Amino acid sequence: MTNMFCYQCEQAADGKGCAGKAGVCGKQAETALLQDGLTGELITLVKKANQCKPSAHTRRLMLEGLFATLTNVNFDGAVLERLIREVHEESMRLSATSAAFKALDLSEIWKLPEDIRSLKSLVLFGLRGMAAYAYHALVLGITDEEVSAFFYKALGALGDPAQGMEELLALAMETGKLNLKVMELLDKGNTSTFGTPKPVTVPLSIEKGPFIIVSGHDLRDLELLLEQTDGKGVNVFTHCEMLPAHAYPELKKHPQLKGNFGTAWQNQQKEFENIPGAVLFTTNCLMPVRDSYRDRVFTTGVAAYPGLPCIGEKDGKKDFTPVINKALELGGYAEDRTMTGINGGKTVTTGFARDTVLGAADTVIAAVKSGAIRHFFLVGGCDGAKAGRNYYTEFVKQTPKDTVILTLGCGKYRFNDLDIGSIGDLPRIMDMGQCNDAYSAIKVAIALADAFKCGVNELPLTLVLSWYEQKAAAILLTLLYLGIKNIRLGPSLPAFVSPGVLDFLVKEFNIMRISTPEKDLAEILGALRG
């Protein structure tokens, strides 16, 4: 029997790890072992890359390889086998000798002493998340030598048995530092390609007629699809993390980009049931595909699922004709269809990125000084299936009227259709974008701290985060690198954080697990009064 072990995401079985034949996410043991094999090959590749000059091909393979091991991205054994072969060949090419070699066996890392294993896992998962962002920047033509060199160094350290606690803790912080740089590069790529995001109200209803739903994070893929659907009578709707696309002028200019379909990723199997439209997954979070909609789902980029067509790339171009034809064949709904968010709202807003919020900085600062705004909460991160995630809905509902909620990532679907009013001209819920737009939130926090002449930790701001997969691990490392304290994290703490490492995080950063909305709000706002 083939046995797997994986504990990289928040769904890890029993809060410990998925073992045996399949994971909670639907990943089969064979796939998990291929992902481990691919990671071992990548660690071996960077050893060679650290000894000689890697090429642009080495970098692309490394990013694709890491991205393909992220939760809910790639379930396709054939694609993983191809990647393993390509990485091995690249290692051979970079080798000084032509002698055959065996790649690192990742299970060696799982056998290490608890705290070392925990820190190596934290760095590995952070690197996987960071690779996803670096890949999105790469497809927009943006790369950075310092970032590539860090990937090689950090992956190399994972395969080095001499690395101790001190070195690995420093490496974890450096991962946070470099992830900040990657998010900055991606922000630059997104804004220089698609324009500066502007606040926008997005309908949740679906208009009659043929349609395509685009999910995932890759704005470039959405742009290509929009260009190819111009004038074809096919509407395009965003799904999950693609929602912020509506705020970018270069994407919004396409009139067929109509609205947003459904809620967060974990509801897709229910929401896509018998859907009369085509679905395109550009990245995570892709769930095992059910028969009732299997024939209308496509993937592209690093996302893959056995049996689903994956739209490939040739000379920087992608041909989405099969997706468009499928939408035309299915025909869509016969009548406009009214749909709502999880709280019954018919629209959501997005596009409150750094330029918009900082553009209103004078108003914000005056509102804080006058007491009109008492506190900011950054309630963001990932959504997921656990019932405990209802915490975030209740938390937002219970926040006092003189507080503002900044949000990002797919966790916002728990509350982004709520109408909780505004403070003057400022809406009380402001969606800053996708999870990588944590960069925008960091810029805003730093600018506010400058304006108030204090540190970020002294601002009337509390971070209440939800995590699911490895991009959240990368962002958390960035926040810790920036010295941000008192983060509340939920719905549970990562299985890969050992008691020893947790002890360090609590002592250094006072990181804490969410409790109940009532208790946490009382503590946060009570501490302000005290």
Q: Which residues bind ligand FSO (CB under 6 A)?
A: 240-241, 265, 284-285, 382, 409-410, 434-435, 468-469, 471-472
Among residues 3, 12, 463, 498, which is the contact residue for ligand SF4, using CB under 6 A? 12
Which residues in 55-74 contact ligand SF4 (CB under 6 A)? 71
Strands 488-490 and 461-466: parallel
Residue 7 near which of ligand SF4, ligand FSO, none (CB within 5-8 Å, type-dependent): ligand SF4
Should residue 8 be labelled a site residue for ligand SF4 when binding is judged by CB under 6 A?
yes
CB of 468 to ligand SF4, least distance (A): 9
Nearest-Å Rg of the Cα atoms of the chain is 22
CB of 13 to ligand SF4, least distance (A): 6
Cα–Cα nearest to 186, from 228, 147, 214: 147
Residue 471 near which of ligand FSO, ligand SF4, none (CB within 5-8 Å, type-dependent): ligand FSO
Q: Nearer to ligand FSO by C-beta: 382 or 501?
A: 382
Helix (H) or strand (E) holding 466: strand 461-466
Residue 410 near which of ligand SF4, ligand FSO, none (CB within 5-8 Å, type-dependent): ligand FSO
CB of 193 to ligand FSO, least distance (A): 19
- 206 Cβ contact partners less than 8 Å away, ≥ 6 residues apart: 235, 237, 258, 259, 261, 277, 332, 333, 336, 337, 339
Q: Nearer to ligand SF4 by C-beta: 6 or 245?
A: 6
- ∠ Cα 142 146 147 (to 5°): 60
Q: Nearer to ligand SF4 by C-beta: 215 or 403?
A: 215
Q: Nearer to ligand SF4 by C-beta: 460 or 494?
A: 494
Should residue 303 be labelled a site residue for ligand SF4 when binding is judged by CB under 6 A?
no
| Cβ–Cβ < 8 Å for 461, 445 | yes
Q: Nearer to ligand SF4 by C-beta: 182 or 287?
A: 287
Should residue 34 be labelled a site residue for ligand SF4 when binding is judged by CB under 6 A?
no
Q: Nearer to ligand SF4 by C-beta: 237 or 467?
A: 467
Among residues 3, 7, 301, 506, which is the contact residue for ligand SF4, using CB under 6 A? 7
Q: Nearer to ligand FSO by C-beta: 265 or 305?
A: 265
Most distant pair of Cα atoms in the chain: their distance? 72
Q: Nearer to ligand FSO by C-beta: 64 or 86?
A: 64
Q: Tokens in use for 82?
A: 């191809």
CB of 261 to ligand FSO, least distance (A): 14
CB of 196 to ligand SF4, least distance (A): 35
Residue 408 near which of ligand SF4, ligand FSO, none (CB within 5-8 Å, type-dependent): none
Should residue 265 be labelled a site residue for ligand SF4 when binding is judged by CB under 6 A?
no
CB of 31 to ligand SF4, least distance (A): 9
Phi-psi region of 430 (alpha: psi -120 to 50; beta: other; left: phi over 0): beta
Should residue 6 be labelled a site residue for ligand SF4 when binding is judged by CB under 6 A?
yes
Q: Helices 470-481 and 438-451 sit at what angle, rounded to 10 degrees?
A: 20
| Cβ–Cβ < 8 Å for 322, 94 | no
Burial class (CB in 10 A: 0-12, 13-18, 19+), 155: buried
Q: What are phi and psi for residue 221, nearest 5 degrees?
A: -60, -40
Q: Nearer to ligand FSO by C-beta: 37 or 262?
A: 262
> Rounded distance, CA 168 to CA 387, Å?
34
Which residues in 500-529 contact ligand SF4 (CB under 6 A)? none
Should residue 23 be labelled a site residue for ligand SF4 when binding is judged by CB under 6 A?
yes
Q: Write 106-109 long-range contacts (CB < 8 A, 24+).
A: 106/36, 106/37, 106/39, 106/40, 106/43, 107/5, 107/36, 109/158
| Cβ–Cβ < 8 Å for 28, 12 | no
Q: Nearer to ligand SF4 by C-beta: 411 or 460?
A: 411
Should residue 266 be labelled a site residue for ligand SF4 when binding is judged by CB under 6 A?
no
**CB neighbours (10 Å) of residue 104?**
20
Q: Tokens in use for 463?
A: 């971070």
CB of 9 to ligand SF4, least distance (A): 3
Phi-psi region of 381 (alpha: psi -120 to 50; beta: other; left: phi over 0): left
Q: Nearer to ligand FSO by C-beta: 9 or 123?
A: 9
| Cβ–Cβ < 8 Å for 497, 17 | no
Should residue 11 be labelled a site residue for ligand SF4 when binding is judged by CB under 6 A?
yes
Should residue 25 be labelled a site residue for ligand SF4 when binding is judged by CB under 6 A?
yes
Q: Which residues bind ligand SF4 (CB under 6 A)?
A: 6-9, 11-12, 18, 23-25, 27, 71
